[in-house]
Amino acid sequence: MSLLLSKCPCAFTHRMALRDYSIIPALVLLVLGIVGILLLVLPANEMEKPPENMFGIVLDAGSSHTSMYIYKWPADKQNDTGIVTQHSECQVKGELLPVGGGISSYAGIRGGAAESLEDCLNQAVKDVPKPRHHQTPLYLGATAGMRLLKSRSECHRVQTGTEGSGKENAVLPFQIQRGSHPEWTEEGAYGWVTVNYLLENFAKYGFVGRWLNPGRQTIGALDLGGASTQIAFETSEEVEDKDNVMELKLYGQTYRLYTQSFLCYGQDQFLRKLLALLIKTEGVKPQVSHPCYPQQFTTSVKLGPDVFDSPCTQSYKPANFDPQRSVRVVGTGDYRSCLDNVQKLFSFENCSYSKCSFNGVFQPNVRGSFMAFSAFFFTHSYINSLSNISITSPSRLKEPIQLICNMTISEMTAKFKQKEKYMKNVCAVSNFVQVLLLQGYGFDNHSLPSISFEKKYGPSRETRANEGSAPRALGWHSFPLHHPPPHCTGIPSDDLQKQKD
């Protein structure tokens, strides 16, 4: 009996412990229930909501094509600069033109610019949420192609036609932005901003769920379009021409840039100037030899529309000629003669500063890494594919170009599996890039290997999670200035004076 009584307190204690443990789940459920009730009854505006997105539209009006890009960013900004991502895009078709071209090509076609943009702008109306329509800016990013229109009236006709686009939307619901005092040096800065933004050199999304400054070095940007070429990079040197320096504040950091845009030194206008130079040198006659065209290649051009109907070729125009006259151009495939003629399109004399790139334009020494895109990428791709030589030094750039210029047109098309119209200019443009990079910008054995030629770019070469292929367009939305991209101003006289006569 005593044994039984002595065991009773232990059994009682054990039962009490079990009952305490059984209460814990009930308490947890009670707490969770109270939290749930509070979440239901609290006013919605007392709970922190994720920021809503704002939207912006850029019509990237290049000289050879036009693209529309729609961007979005959180309504709250990171250090007064928006974290921008691409929402959608649309490539504008050039169906009304006999050959491809940007919207500047519609200067002489009534209503052509508006009609060409109709499909893309109607897509924008659908892609941007309707409540955001009237808060969404629409920029016409008028680049060098618009500058080359012969008059301001032509440019304004194209611009006005653009703003009236969209049959389904006679009045666009977006905020049409118009520029009043463009700075053409900004064109290079747009590409620089885009490249470094996509490489996460300004801001990187950290594991803590916040955008952080990664403390990385920025890289320079090299852009080669159809009508102009741009260079932009950070520099600590004194910039002797203040028109070439820009200070940008991005994501809480200040960057000091050298930037320059060379009008008439885009790929298309360079090829026009080269042909104009050859015709001027030989005189207007039925047949002209072209040392940069491959052997066995011939073509016919009209003196007006194909050669001299451009502000970039005015200094080469013969005194009296028939614009509709056709001239037969015969390729001779001569590397040395091609290079000599390409160099004549640059002026490396008459520098009024301590140092210049070309045409009397000041430039500090290039520094750091660079990314080259647009026509730079395609030219580099052709050189690598046709020669199987990697470009690691100035001499390694010269060697494959010599091989290419000595090829016949049939050898080139067979090796690259491309049509003649794409192959005919490879020798000329390769020599142009060689002169521009080495003699113009001053890249040498040390700095040339720092150039990365890219078609697309992003934070990861493997995943390219935030890749981009529109150098200027994203830059326009990341750019911390309070005025939109450039529009119609005609051709600055100093731009034409800087060309080689």
Q: Which residues are annotated as a binding site for ATP?
A: 226-230
Kindly state the DSSP code that residue 366 receives in the 8-state scheme. Answer: P
Residue 255 pairs with which residues in a beta bridge? 248
What is the H or E stretch that residue 393 is in? Answer: none
Q: Is 48 among the residues known to form the active site? A: no
Structure tokens at 425: 């200019």
Of the residues 89, 163, 187, 200, only one is catalytic, namely 187
Beta bridge partners of 142: 61
Residues 6+ away with beta carbon under 8 Å from 421 = none
* Residue 139: closest CA among 124, 151, 127: 124
CA torsion, ordered 225, 141, 239, 375, to nearest 10 deg: -10
Count of H helices and E strands in the chain? 14, 16
Residue type, 328: R
Query: Residues comprising the binding site?
Result: 226-230
Cα 485 from Cα 193, distance rounded (Å): 14
Residue 95: CB atoms within 10 A of its CB come to: 10
> CA gyration radius for the chain?
30
259: nearest Cα among 220, 218, 226? 220
The answer to whether the beta carbons of residues 429 and 375 sit under 8 Å apart is yes
Residues 151 and 300: their CA atoms lie apart, in Å, by: 29
**3 state DSSP class of 489:** coil
Is 362 in contact with 452 (CB distance < 8 Å)? no
Q: Is 493 exposed, middle or buried (0-12, 13-18, 19+ CB in 10 A)?
A: exposed
For residue 61 the two structure tokens come to 């009006």
Name 333's Cβ contacts closer than 8 Å, sequence gap at least 6: 291, 293, 294, 295, 405, 406, 407, 408, 427
What residues act catalytically? 187
